[in-house]
Amino acid sequence: METKWVLLTVLVLTGLALWVVPRTRFARRLRMTVGLFYAINILGILVGIAGLALTLGRPDLVLEEHYYEVLLLPVFLSYMYFALLQIVQKSKEILDEKQALNMTQAAAATLPFAVFWVFLLYALYKETVLTGLIFFPLFVFFVLLAYSAHVLIFYRKN
Amino acid sequence: MKLGNNVRRYRFDREELSQQRLAEAIGVTRQTIFAIEKGRFVPSTLLALRIARFFGKPVEELFYIIENEDAE
């Protein structure tokens, strides 16, 4: 089966889960924990590193075979879990206020890195070191890496 | 100007209640309690009131303003 069909199936199943799971007894067992908060951000770092390495090493796989979507899938599913928790608990306060603050701080700290990264990509394109649509996965994976790392740094430090 | 607090003191007054137990009672993570006690995180009014209610004290007894940070 082609990768895009697998991805489409996962998307449909995720949508279905968001509708079905809150209506089951299993929903009561779902909760956000500190371990999960760490796991999601560590996952973001690992996916970011793997994505950057794969994009630079095998851009053909990443762009033509939809591998970058496959790599992003665990992160997407973890954020869908957040959405599921919000639906089940009928609340937007899934994270505690320090976690929410640290995520905001991480977003702000990531912004200058993202701008720098875009300037660097622009320079590399201008010098034709990079060509084609490779900028997109490079940007997405870099931002994911920078953001996830900053969340963990702020959470541990502050 | 900085926010000082007596959370740690009141926690120890309560038979050395752990940060984890307090966090669970308040509905936050242990890291949040740790950061509040260290003065690295300023809690929202709601959270400050929840902590004060847990200890059965007025919020001003748990949290206070440090006017001169150098004096602390």
- CATH code for the domain of B17: 1.10.260.40
Instruction: Please state the rounded mean pLDDT for residues A99-121.
Output: 96
- Structural domain includes residue B72: no
Decide: B47 and B28 in contact? Cβ < 8 Å: yes
Domain encompassing residue B41: 2-59
Decide: helix, strand or coil at residue B3.
strand
- Report the residue of chain A nearest B30, measured CA to CA: A34
Chain B contact present for A105, CB below 8 A: no
Nearest to B29 by CA among A100, A55, A125, A14: A100
Instruction: Please state the rounded mean pLDDT for residues A6-26.
Output: 90
Residues 6+ apart with CB under 8 A from A63: A132, A133, A134, A137
Q: Best of B7, B32, B46 to disrupt the A interface by mutation (most A CBs within 10 Å)?
A: B32
Chain A contact present for B20, CB below 8 A: no
Nearest to A95 by CA among A103, A87, A107: A103
Domain encompassing residue A89: 2-157
B72 vs B68: which has the higher pLDDT: B68
Q: How many domains does chain B have?
A: 1
Q: Answer whether residue B72 shows pLDDT above 70.
A: no
Chain B contact present for A96, CB below 8 A: yes
pLDDT band of A33, cuts 50, 70, 90: confident
Percent pLDDT > 90 in chain A is: 59
Decide: A145 and A54 in contact? Cβ < 8 Å: no
Decide: A75 and A44 in contact? Cβ < 8 Å: yes
Q: Answer whether residue B41 shows pLDDT above 80.
A: yes
What's the confidence (pLDDT) of residue A139? 97
Place of tokens 């003065």: B39
Q: How many domains does chain A have?
A: 1
Q: Is A41 exposed, middle or buried (0-12, 13-18, 19+ CB in 10 A)?
A: buried
Which amino acid does the sequence have at A55?
A: T
Q: Looking at the predicted complex, does its ipTM rise above 0.90?
A: no
Q: What's the mean pLDDT when you consider all of chain A?
A: 91
Q: In chain A, what is the greatest distance between 2 CA atoms, to the nearest angstrom?
A: 58
| pTM of the full structure | 0.85
pLDDT band of B70, cuts 50, 70, 90: low
CA distances (Å), origin A90, targets A94, A101, A138, B27, B30: 10, 21, 36, 16, 24
Inter-chain residue contact B32 with A158, CB threshold 8 Å = no
CA distance A69 to A126: 27
Inter-chain residue contact A98 with B41, CB threshold 8 Å = yes
pLDDT band of A103, cuts 50, 70, 90: very high
